[in-house]
């Protein structure tokens, strides 16, 4: 990740992807929610990225590839809402 994209709504709510490179706790009380889950599928012998509803969004034999895809996808979603 090259930088943090933080969106602040009119009600003061901020949204971004978590990064320990930025001390987000200094902004105040945090509420953290997972947007996706990366899990290994034993039957398919591949890693899968699932959204919060449990739908598979992406699949790869490489966990690192899934994590990179997840970050890119979620950055796009946040920037295009």
Residue-wise pLDDT tens digits, 15-50: 888 877 788 888 888 888 888 999 999 999 999 999
Backbone φ/ψ region at 25: left (φ over 0), alpha (ψ -120 to 50), beta: alpha
Domain count, the chain: 1
CB atoms near residue 4 (< 10 Å): 13
Length of the chain: 81
This prediction's pTM: 0.76
Q: Is the confidence at residue 2, as pLDDT, over 70?
A: no
Q: Which domain holds residue 51?
A: 7-79
Interatomic CA distance for residues 65 and 61, integer angstroms: 8
Residue 13 lies in a domain: yes
């Amino acid at each position: 990740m090259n930088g943090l994209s933080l969106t602040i709504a009119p009600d003061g709510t901020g949204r971004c992807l978590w990064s320990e490179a930025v001390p987000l706790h200094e902004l105040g009380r945090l509420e953290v929610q997972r947007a996706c889950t990366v899990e290994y599928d034993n039957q398919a012998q591949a890693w899968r990225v699932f959204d919060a509803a449990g739908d598979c969004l992406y699949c790869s034999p490489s966990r690192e590839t899934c994590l990179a895809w997840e970050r890119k996808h979620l950055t796009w979603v946040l920037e295009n809402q």
